[in-house]
Structure 1
């Protein structure tokens, strides 16, 4: 009985996902694509119509017989909330069933606030955001949280993330769920960014791609043919802790010569501070990593040679790690997401594309495309929102695998 219900839920999710991604679409087309019988499709569609998540949009053109009724998603029927939790700032987005952001709120990071106090603030801010959007709480399917790793996804806690050290083992999803009344899910920020790309149809069906996410740290979300690879503990893709120098400086993670020590925003800022101290560049530093990196990036795109050299060095080191990722995973595409790429994304795309094209082992067999995310700086927050929409309404795809 349980297995029958599980299969039915999977079929319903599959049908909904096709209507969302390929609609307007007819019942006959759904049956042809899924391989399910017309009777099964009719029953599933009847349930989706009753749930309000799908609507009939009229009949398509006739091909000789009676024109077929078309189905499409009802975007305003359900909403997902996503939070990109960071040390310097946090971003809330509310997305509808089509993945369109209908509301956004940015707030300062925790600073001196402990996790308990900050989560209370998050709950209050979310309530104000939803009130301002006049959204019925019953239409919100859940709250997704994107955070830097390592994380324990099942327990809903951050475990030893360098930028959020005080949050280690704090019951994040349980507490936020208690305060908001919503079901909460935690995931790695890079994985969330990759989810958003898939949900919005920005990647080709059947492709293998990685979303390289750089905020104050560096990570990668990996998707195989519409299926997220999370690893055994949901901490796959810690690209920032790939070693590019075995004899390099020790990283807080315990490894040596991690790419984050050379390519990450903190590394760029440290070198910019050294240059400013010696008179090589005139910049004011706030102590907030995101703002300070943005200042270096702004100087780079306005033509300061030293700032440009710092960004190009960062891009080259990041490309070194990405070449290893491409060689191991055999990727079709690379997507760059996160606030660090906001101003200087074109430099990173150009540099990474060139180096991957020269050094990837399979370069003679296929071209690995590199581009910026369609979701910009909201990639992780929007990915977190679409994650709860996917898990609650269309669990058929973007499931977790471990390749065991």
Structure 2
């Protein structure tokens, strides 16, 4: 049986996005920018005003006729909760329609705990966060969940993520929805980060870009011609599992010579362990990926030659993977997001930009811009919050979310 047809982005959703990203804006300008009829614009705007999502903010200067009334988003009208699940840390974000963070909570990650007990704690954390905020709970449209992949989006489950092995096949989205009473939307953390970048205007001028996300692993959210690319089950962008050494060791994913084996945070930590054993590096390890990675980064930033060499190698392998990605999908912009880039991201950005300038196939035609995320360690959680806002307010399939 063929799959059901995808729903197209609605006129209402398109208009809401434009008001949010370009407002104050008049109805006439909306018609000019969308190509929709004045009647369609009027009907959609009337619905948005009725639902409190936008407001009229006064009249512009007259151009000879009746002055145009401007429209702006009403940020507090709807709120989304973003949840980024990680082994070391779990982050919660409450964001409004403007993408502004109105509440944040970061707690210990799920570690090796069983999913059922972790879900109970997550529901309690969300309740605690909301209790501390002066917000209208009726404005909350749902919870967006961001996790590492691979995912089964139809089942709302993680399927074999190396850092979250105990969660394989567990109905995460459905169980959290039951525990919290909120509708839950589920997606890859790198894809969520890419959506968050768009909502905060960090990709301005670029409609084809990639958000490279490095936390415990490495992934990438891909936007092509203004549209998030999901694939069948949101398992695109596994940059960390591109082969960079065909004769290399076998990765936990089943592939060989993967980028993560050479560039990922665990690879950095493993190299540091080896250096300590050989007396080349002096540091103690916590056993937590994020904390140990940051300790090694601090050493490198303070001039330790061995730590610096470890990161230089990591950056070279990551750059090699990104060059291959750029050659395949011809992006205009690469954004670096996630906790691993928070401390030492400038080194990675510099190396990646240099290698793209030297090796990208179309380098003579265009320069690929490389920049740091505006969201830092909150990129995936904030992206998850904006993901659920986008999903609930614009009646369109996640497989065809239009961002531009």
When normalised by structure 1's length, the TM-score is: 0.95
- Rounded Cα–Cα distance in structure 1 between residues aligned with 2:265 and 2:95: 29
Paired residue secondary structure (1:144): strand
- Displacement of 1:204: 3.4
State the match for 2:286 in structure 1.
286
* Counterpart check, 1:68 vs 2:64: no
State the match for 2:354 in structure 1.
354
Contact 1:226 1:398 in 2 (8 A): no
What are the ranges of 5 or more consecutive residues in structure 1 without an aligned counterpart?
1-5
Residues 312 and 190 from structure 1, CA distance in 2 versus in 1: closer, same or farther, beyond 3 angstroms?
Answer: same
- Displacement of 1:369: 0.7
- Rounded Cα–Cα distance in structure 1 between residues aligned with 2:28 and 2:398: 25
Contact 2:227 2:400 in 1 (8 A): yes
| Aligned length in residues | 396
Paired residue secondary structure (1:342): helix
Which residues in structure 2 correspond to 1:90-169 (within 5 Å)? 90-169=90-169
Contact 1:205 1:225 in 2 (8 A): no
Please give the per-residue CA displacement for 1:109-162, whole angstroms capped at 9, x wherever unaligned.
Answer: 112420110011000000110110032221101100110000011211000101
* Counterpart check, 1:10 vs 2:20: no
State the match for 2:24 in structure 1.
24
Q: Is 24-33 or 196-205 further displaced after alignment?
A: 196-205
State the match for 1:204 in structure 2.
204
Residues 7 and 152 from structure 1, CA distance in 2 versus in 1: closer, same or farther, beyond 3 angstroms?
Answer: closer
- Rounded Cα–Cα distance in structure 2 between residues aligned with 1:304 and 1:154: 47
Residues 152 and 8 from structure 1, CA distance in 2 versus in 1: closer, same or farther, beyond 3 angstroms?
Answer: closer
Structural RMSD (CA):
1.6
- Displacement of 1:44: 1.2
State the match for 1:36 in structure 2.
36
- Rounded Cα–Cα distance in structure 2 between residues aligned with 1:346 and 1:378: 18
Residues 400 and 390 from structure 1, CA distance in 2 versus in 1: closer, same or farther, beyond 3 angstroms?
Answer: same
Residues 399 and 64 from structure 1, CA distance in 2 versus in 1: closer, same or farther, beyond 3 angstroms?
Answer: farther
State the match for 1:3 in structure 2.
none
Contact 1:206 1:224 in 2 (8 A): no
Please give the per-residue CA displacement for 1:49-74, whole angstroms capped at 9, x wherever unaligned.
Answer: 11011011111122222211100000
- Rounded Cα–Cα distance in structure 1 between residues aligned with 2:348 and 2:398: 28
- Rounded Cα–Cα distance in structure 1 between residues aligned with 2:397 and 2:101: 21
- Rounded Cα–Cα distance in structure 2 between residues aligned with 1:37 and 1:246: 55
- Rounded Cα–Cα distance in structure 1 between residues aligned with 2:23 and 2:398: 19
Q: Is 16-25 or 57-66 further displaced after alignment?
A: 57-66
Contact 2:206 2:332 in 1 (8 A): no
State the match for 1:265 in structure 2.
265
What are the ranges of 5 or more consecutive residues in structure 2 without an aligned counterpart?
1-5
- Rounded Cα–Cα distance in structure 1 between residues aligned with 2:169 and 2:241: 21
Contact 2:327 2:362 in 1 (8 A): yes
Which residues in structure 2 correspond to 1:168-317 (within 5 Å)? 168-205=168-205, 207-317=207-317
Contact 1:157 1:172 in 2 (8 A): yes
State the match for 2:3 in structure 1.
none
Contact 1:211 1:335 in 2 (8 A): yes
When normalised by structure 2's length, the TM-score is: 0.95
- Displacement of 1:225: 1.8
- Rounded Cα–Cα distance in structure 1 between residues aligned with 2:76 and 2:136: 11
State the match for 1:82 in structure 2.
82
Please give the per-residue CA displacement for 1:189-247, whole angstroms capped at 9, x wherever unaligned.
Answer: 00110111112222135621110000010001100122111112210000001011011
Paired residue secondary structure (2:125): helix
Residues 305 and 313 from structure 1, CA distance in 2 versus in 1: closer, same or farther, beyond 3 angstroms?
Answer: same
